[in-house]
């Protein structure tokens, strides 16, 4: 199943993230190396949020990521949520729908 980890970033995200970016990226790389994190990155120009796409057994995996993320722990991300994403089209979709 796919899950979206949605981050709402602080208004000064671009300035404040610098001190925590290496630790955040290390955590992300570990999740990617385990095959859980598929894609992640900031949204907007200027940045307004971030989205991380997980393919994993359940929502507890992206929830645990957020709870351990230095961005969250240090207020660079002010709110987060995990939403299941029922993917139906594409080479890596979780629930392909046959097309007649």
Q: 11-61 pLDDT, tens per residue? A: 999 999 999 999 999 999 999 999 999 999 999 999 999 999 999 999 999
What is the secondary structure of 31-95 as a DSSP string?
HHHTT-EEEEEEETTTT-EEEEEEESS-THHHHHHHHH-HHHHTTSEEEEEEEEE---SSTT-SS
pLDDT attached to residue 6: 98
In this predicted structure, the answer to whether residue 98 has a pLDDT above a threshold of 90 is no
| Topology of the domain covering 2-85 | Alpha-Beta Plaits (3.30.70)
pLDDT of 100 reads 81
């Amino acid at each position: 199943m796919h899950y979206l980890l949605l981050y709402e970033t602080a208004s000064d995200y671009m300035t404040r993230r610098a001190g925590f970016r290496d630790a955040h990226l290390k955590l992300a790389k570990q999740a990617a190396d385990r095959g859980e994190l598929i894609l992640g990155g900031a949204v907007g120009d200027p940045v307004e949020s971030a989205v991380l796409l997980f393919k994993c057994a359940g929502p507890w995996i992206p929830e645990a990521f957020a709870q351990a993320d230095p961005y969250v722990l240090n207020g660079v991300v002010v709110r987060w949520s995990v939403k299941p994403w029922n993917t139906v089209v594409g080479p890596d979709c979780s629930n392909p729908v046959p097309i007649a």
